[in-house]
Structure 1
Amino acid sequence: MAKFLLSLHLLAAIVAIGPVTVAASMFPRTAREALAAGADGGGAGSVRVLHRITQVYAAIGIAVPVLGIGTAQVMGLMGSAWIIASIVLTVLAALVLLVLVLPRQEAVVSALAGEGAGEGDRAGALAGLKLLTMGTGVFSLLWAVVTVLMVVRPGSSTHA
């Protein structure tokens, strides 16, 4: 059962977290170009697609910690420091995505769609891209650290 859950956990991580990370990291540059091009330029469609990918795969990504916790319980590892650290970092990554990345992406999508205050809305969305870029970087870094913890497993009984 543990190998089956671990396999599902790894598949979910690859299928869900990879696309979220890539789409979220591509979004700021694509959004900057689309906002700079204005109403006459293209790019709004690409921005909407990247935002949608981020949303959908973030929802699918919920399976990663659920399967990870299930796997850790079956393997009797829930008290391990690396598991606890991974859970904390995963929660932080989820918070960054939900509080920082997705709302700022939504603001850009709305600005490009012309919803809101027009040029002022575009200027605000453009100004928020620096924070969005930082947020996507932090999100990616947190997942990278979790991945390293899963491989190195400090203090594990396998000494791998």
Structure 2
Amino acid sequence: MTKLLLSLHVLAAILAIGPVTVAASMFPRKARAALAVEGADQADAAASVRILYRVTQVYAMLGIAVPVLGIGTAQMMGVMGSPWLITSLVLTVLAALILLVLVLPRQEAVVSALAGAEDADSTKALSGLKLLTMSTGMFSLLWAAVTVLMVFRPGSTTHA
């Protein structure tokens, strides 16, 4: 059962965290380009921005499976109290908070501005892109750190 849970955990990480990281990272550049153009060109550019936003949303929800399966695997392996695992869980929570509090709301603001929503301000959306770029970078770095901890697992019983 442990090997099955571990396999599902790794698959979930690859299939959920990978796409959300890539989509979130591509979003600021595409959004900046979309906000800079006018007319029919903006409609095409806005479509790609909306797709990236939707991918980020959907895969963020699917990404919940990664820590759930990871905790199940850790319980089966008897390593729940390991410092590397606790650190990984803390970094995972930080990554989730960055995604939910910083990335997704700013992406939504840009999508609203491109859609021409009455309450949307395109200059505010454009000015928020720097913070969005930084936030997505932090999100990616946190997941990279979690991945390194999962591979190296200090004090692991596998001796790999």
Q: When the two structures are superposed, what TM-score results if normalisation uses the length of structure 1?
A: 0.96
Matches within 5 A, 1:7-156: 7-42=7-42, 43-117=45-119, 121-156=121-156
How far has the Cα of 1:157 moved from its partner? 2.1
What is the letter of the counterpart of residue 57 of structure 1? Y
Q: Identity rate of aligned residues, in percent?
A: 75
User: How many residue pairs are counted as aligned between the two chains?
Assistant: 158
State the SS of the aligned residue for 1:41. Answer: helix
What is the letter of the counterpart of residue 30 of structure 1? K
What is the letter of the counterpart of residue 16 of structure 1? A
What CA deviation, in whole Å up to 9, does each residue of 1:72-117 have, x standing for no partner? 0011010001110000000000000000000000000000000035
CA distance in structure 2 between the partners assigned to 1:108 and 1:125 by the alignment:
5
* Contact persistence 1:90–1:143 (CA under 8 A): yes
5+ residue gaps, structure 1, are none
User: What is residue 157 of structure 1 aligned with on the other side?
Assistant: 157
CA distance in structure 2 between the partners assigned to 1:136 and 1:53 by the alignment:
14
The answer as to 2:10 corresponding to 1:5 is no
Q: When the two structures are superposed, what TM-score results if normalisation uses the length of structure 2?
A: 0.96
CA distance in structure 2 between the partners assigned to 1:23 and 1:140 by the alignment:
11
How far has the Cα of 1:155 moved from its partner? 1.6
How far has the Cα of 1:156 moved from its partner? 1.5
What is the letter of the counterpart of residue 69 of structure 2? L
How far has the Cα of 1:41 moved from its partner? 2.5
5+ residue gaps, structure 2, are none
RMSD: 1.0
CA distance in structure 2 between the partners assigned to 1:92 and 1:144 by the alignment:
13
